């Protein structure tokens, strides 16, 4: 047997196998990315405007369109808005590395913390922001709980007193799809050129009127790479920004 020739055949066979495996991994990756970002859910006109304005979408576009009602709620900030000192400080790294342990260490110090979820898109320079969850799932973007930290230790918190109430408008309605909401703000040039959409979330949002009872409706929140947030009301399709609190036409 020609061992030299057999060795070469084996080497070529392994190279070919590696090429095939590499190609399969690449195809699987492309399919996964395509499935996650799913630009095909956007209309041709939306994709054209994205290309013309060099707008990128870096977040997966959610496909769910649940049926949700509007809500009414009241909230206030106790202690005249002053932060409350924790009895025991907590490592800031737990916010990102171990949410379960974070909840365990803060559960006895912050009431109802298990009804909130971290909203990293809203974090401030020295505070982590948590949003209350409606029905345990949908963040209420108008209300926040702050975990204030210094020297990599969470030392204070500022939490709201929140109560969600019954409303006369309790009918559940199917929420506008994220792709349609995104298409609206792209085609109406609400997203500035050369921007990137880095996060898309469904939650609750409403204009603030400084009344005893505030109203909120299901809304898609689109966070841009510059930190700006744009809300599209999930029922009417109206567009809001926190800067103006006005519908953008």
Same domain, 147 and 207: no
Same domain, 62 and 178: yes
Which of 165, 190, 209 terminates a domain? The answer is 165
Local confidence band at 13 (pLDDT 50, 70, 90 cut-offs): low
Kind of pairing between the strands at 67-68 and 84-91: unpaired
Does residue 99 lie within any of the structural domains?
Answer: yes
Residue 11 has pLDDT above 90, yes or no: no
Same domain, 57 and 7: no
Which of 121, 141, 165 terminates a domain? The answer is 165
Does residue 29 lie within any of the structural domains?
Answer: yes
Residue whose C-alpha is closest to residue 187's, from 51, 62, 59: 51
Q: What's the pLDDT at 172?
A: 85
Q: What's the pLDDT at 30?
A: 43
Same domain, 88 and 159: yes
Which of 144, 165, 186 terminates a domain? The answer is 165
Q: What's the pLDDT at 202?
A: 98
Section 139-151 average pLDDT = 95
Residue 208 has pLDDT above 80, yes or no: no
Same domain, 94 and 139: yes
Domain that includes residue 224, residue range: 42-66+168-240
pLDDT tens-digit series, residues 33-60: 444 455 778 899 999 999 999 999 999 9
Same domain, 32 and 102: no
Same domain, 141 and 187: no
Does residue 246 lie within any of the structural domains?
Answer: no
CATH of the domain at 85: 3.30.310
Same domain, 60 and 120: no
Residue 149 has pLDDT above 90, yes or no: yes
Same domain, 161 and 114: yes
**Ranges 19-33, 37-51, 110-124, 214-228: which has the least confidence:** 19-33
pLDDT tens-digit series, residues 64-98: 999 999 999 998 888 788 899 999 999 999 998 88
Same domain, 186 and 235: yes
Number of separate domains in the chain: 3
């Amino acid at each position: 047997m020609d061992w030299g020739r057999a060795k070469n055949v084996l080497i070529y066979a392994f190279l070919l196998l590696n090429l095939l495996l590499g190609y399969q991994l690449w195809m699987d990756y492309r399919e996964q990315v395509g499935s996650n970002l799913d630009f095909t859910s956007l209309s041709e006109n939306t994709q054209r405007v994205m290309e013309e304005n060099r707008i990128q979408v870096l977040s997966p576009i959610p496909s769910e369109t649940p049926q949700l009602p509007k809500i009414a709620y009241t909230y206030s900030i106790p202690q005249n808005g002053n932060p409350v000192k924790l009895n025991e400080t907590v490592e800031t790294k737990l916010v990102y590395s171990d949410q379960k342990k974070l909840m365990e260490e803060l559960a006895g110090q912050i009431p109802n913390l298990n009804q909130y979820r971290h909203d990293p898109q809203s974090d401030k320079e020295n505070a982590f922001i948590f949003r209350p969850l409606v029905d345990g799932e949908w963040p209420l973007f108008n209300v926040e709980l702050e975990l204030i930290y210094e020297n990599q230790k969470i030392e204070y918190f500022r939490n709201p007193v929140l109560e969600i109430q019954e409303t006369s408008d309790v009918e559940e309605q199917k929420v506008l799809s994220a792709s349609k909401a995104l298409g609206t703000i792209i085609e109406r040039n609400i997203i500035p050129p050369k921007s990137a959409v880095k996060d898309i979330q469904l939650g609750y949002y409403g204009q603030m009127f400084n009344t005893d009872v505030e109203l909120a409706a299901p809304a898609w929140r689109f966070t841009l790479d510059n930190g700006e947030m744009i809300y599209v009301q999930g029922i009417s399709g109206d567009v809001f920004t926190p800067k103006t609190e006005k519908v953008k036409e």
